[in-house]
Amino acid sequence: MPRRVAPLTDLKVRSAKKREKAYKLADGGGLYLEVTPAGAKLWRLKYRQLNGKENKLHFGAYPDVSLAAARERRDAARTLLGAGIDPGQARDAEAEKARAISENTFEKIAREWHGKMIKSWQPQTAENILHRFELDLFPVFGGVPIAEVKVADVLKAIRVVEGRGALEVAKRLTSDCSRVFNYAIRCELTERNPAALLGEVLEPREKGHFAAIEADELPKFLKALYTNEACMGMPVRIAMRLMLLVFVRTSELIETPWSEIDLEKGEWIIPWTRMKRGKRKIKPDKTDHHVCLSVQALALLRELHRLTGGGMLLFPNMRHPQRPMSNMALLKALERMGYKGDMTGHGFRALAMSTLKERLGIRHEVVDRQLAHAPKDKLESAYDRARYLDERKAMMQKWADYIDSIQID
């Protein structure tokens, strides 16, 4: 029969003095106080592991850990043993979990998520996402363990972005931030997503956020364009006019190689790999886009060919001819015309869509296909673009003639 041990008292623990050699004061159930020659009083628990081997647990030092607290830890450890769990291994697992929590900061997990996702994005998309995180999120809570990031932390960072007027960036940043937390949840690094509900408190983004003039302002815009042409280089001047006549996306124009243009046939076909929807990693739209050139647009391209036709690109960069012109060249041209903040490259598309439908009576479907928008029924995409080709050619000529008819002398 095991020897019965008289429980310790607070007085006995407090009064224990150091000796030349370390000694123990037992409390029962394997718990004892070890008093070292230096006078330290350390709580220990001696127990047998599930495999029968003897082991020890360290509960801390007195008086930081009181007699009552040491007994609570002993009882908890013996409860684990009774359930078939080694308390030492459980303690190590908890310590490892705490270490992982402290090391798995938001920035570390966000970069890990970014690395996992990067193959599904276009290079520019991947670069933009990481840049926004580095600029707007990491400085605010990047060093905080992801399990400890609060809603207030995320909202504070997003409000700064909104304060710059970048409402669309704020929306996308919140969405990407939420995806990082969802990734952390799947990896069992946190149990909650503090960014999940922030969409309800973001400042609403105005529809039609790309600056664009209205149809009534077009005559005045044309006059400003032609009177300011002396301040533009010839390629920029032609690029501005082509943006107005063909209203493709800015990148689709300035990155165009001469190989896409057939001046003899008067055709410009953009391969699907250069189109916005064609660049998608998942289910890209593999439909080439027929720009449909008016007589006026074709004349501009022939004029441009005399300037840059010896190279690869329609609009080469002056310093690096193998690279395209910067879209900033067009924005600067608009600024010199007095339209800074009122018109953008994308604004030419919005202007054409509204004017063609409202002033020239063109059907929405025809305009939409010329803009290379996807039809709601995606299965009809390739069929519709071919189906409306003749109507689109007629529309583009009508549009160019309309522009000529409203010019102010």
Rounded CA gap, 388 and 381, in Å?
11
| Residue numbers annotated as active site | 249, 276, 346, 349, 373, 383
Q: Going by C-beta distance under 8 Å and a sequence separation of 6 or more, which residues neighbour residue 227?
A: none
Tokens 């071919």 belong to residue:
386
Predicted confidence at residue 1, as pLDDT, reads 45
Q: What is the pLDDT of residue 2?
A: 54
- Count of CB atoms situated within 10 Å of the CB of 64: 9
pLDDT mean over 204-226 = 75
More confident residue, 91 or 310: 310
Query: What is the band of 208 on the pLDDT scale with cuts at 50, 70, 90?
Result: very low
Which of 223, 262, 255, 221 lies closest to 239, judged by CA? 255
Non-local (6+) Cβ contacts of 294 within 8 A are 245, 396, 397, 399, 400, 401
Question: pLDDT for 126-166, tens place per residue?
Answer: 888 999 999 999 999 999 999 999 999 999 999 998 887 77
Q: Check residues 231 and 80 and name the one with the higher pLDDT.
A: 80
Residue indicated by tokens 């080709």? 389
Cα–Cα distance between 110 and 226 in angstroms, integer? 49
Name the DSSP letter for residue 313: B
Give the count of alpha carbons within 13 A of 172, CB side only.
12
Rounded percentage of the chain residues whose pLDDT exceeds 70: 91
**SS3 state at 373:** coil
- CA–CA distances in Å: residue 126 to residues 136, 180, 350: 16, 14, 27
Higher pLDDT, 169 or 15: 15
Give pLDDT, residue 300. Answer: 95
- Average the pLDDT over 37-61 and give the result: 85
Tokens of 301: 């391209």
Higher pLDDT, residue 207 or 326: 326
Find the helix or strand (DSSP H, E) in which 42 lies: strand 41-48
**What is the mean predicted confidence (pLDDT) over 195-213?**
70
**pLDDT-based confidence at 122, cuts 50/70/90?**
confident
Mean pLDDT value of segment 233-239: 92
Cα 195 to Cα 180: distance, rounded to the nearest angstrom: 9
**Arithmetic mean of pLDDT, 51-57:** 80
Give the contacts of 114 (CB within 8 A, at least 6 positions apart).
126, 129, 130, 133
Separation CA 242–CA 86 (nearest Å): 76
If one counts every other C-beta atom within 10 angstroms of the C-beta of residue 188, the result is: 10
Q: Give me the pLDDT at residue 331, please.
A: 87
**In this predicted structure, what is the pLDDT of residue 409?**
61
Residue 6: pLDDT band (50, 70, 90) is confident
Q: What's residue 387's pLDDT?
A: 58
- Tell me the whole-structure pTM to 2 decimals: 0.51
* Dihedral pair phi/psi, residue 155, rounded to 5°: -65, -35
At 362-390, the pLDDT tens digits run 888 888 888 877 655 544 554 455 558 88
Q: How confident is the model at residue 242 (pLDDT cuts 50, 70, 90)?
A: very high
DSSP 172-198: HHHHHHHHHHHHHHHTTS-S--TTTTG
- Residues 192-204: what's their mean pLDDT? 81
Q: Residue 186's pLDDT band (boundaries 50, 70, 90)?
A: very high
Mean pLDDT calculated for residue range 268-287: 81
The DSSP symbol for 208 reads S
Cα gap 406→203, rounded to integer Å: 39
Smallest CA-to-CA distance from 71 within 121, 102, 32, 17 is with 32
The string of pLDDT tens digits covering residues 335-358 is 888 888 788 888 898 888 888 988
Give the span between the Cα atoms of 170 and 295, in whole angstroms. 43
| The predicted structure's pLDDT at residue 30 | 87
* Residue linked to tokens 């001046």: 263
pLDDT above 90 coverage of the chain, percent: 40
97/38: higher pLDDT:
38
Write down all domains in the chain, each with its CATH number in brackets: 10-89 (3.30.160.390), 106-200 (1.10.150.130), 215-405 (1.10.443.10)
Q: Give the residue from 113, 108, 118, 105 showing the smallest Cα distance to 153.
A: 105
Structure tokens at 187: 């990896």
The strands making up 31-35's β-sheet, listed across from edge to edge, are: 23-28, 31-35, 41-48, 54-62
